[in-house]
Amino acid sequence: MDLRRNISRALVPALRRITHRGQYGASAPRAEILDADAPDQTMNLVDAEVYLRNRPQVERYLPDILGRALARAWIDQTFRGRFTLDPVETLRDYDVHLPDSIDIEIETTETMRPRVVVYERGKTGRRTRLLYLQLAMMAGR
């Protein structure tokens, strides 16, 4: 399975379609409004079920998926609560399956921005940090 085609590049839900009713004025383009509580494919983290089977796949694909999860947690309090309590199970519920040796922890920094830390458990039980992600606020001109 080619994971590059199954993972959307959008970090937040996008409008599914925009309908046009003419060109200008009162008949300007009208965007479809999405119901955040309705089960909708636009809120998924991946487009199709993903099985990351080893460390190289986790290191390559999981940062994009976790970036989407962090962005969603920023705008969806229900998701944030689930993701904070059990990130691995939440990812599994959203069709992202990780190896048993992978642990994920959510840490809150002094700035109150969550940090997602991914660990790999070795055969001896010792954990090694693979990566971490954190939303950063930036402004540019």
The CA R_g of the chain, rounded to the nearest whole Å, is 18
Could you read off the pLDDT of 47-75 as tens digits, one per residue?
889 999 999 999 999 999 999 998 888 88
pLDDT at position 84: 92
Could you read off the pLDDT of 73-109 as tens digits, one per residue?
888 889 989 999 999 999 999 999 999 999 999 987 7
Reported as type and span, the H/E element at residue 30 is strand 30-31
3-state SS track over 49-79: CEECCCHHHHHHHHHHHHHHHHHHHHHCHHH
Quick one: what percent of the chain has pLDDT higher than 70?
67
Give the predicted TM-score (pTM) of the model.
0.67
Can you read off the two tokens belonging to residue 84? 């904070």
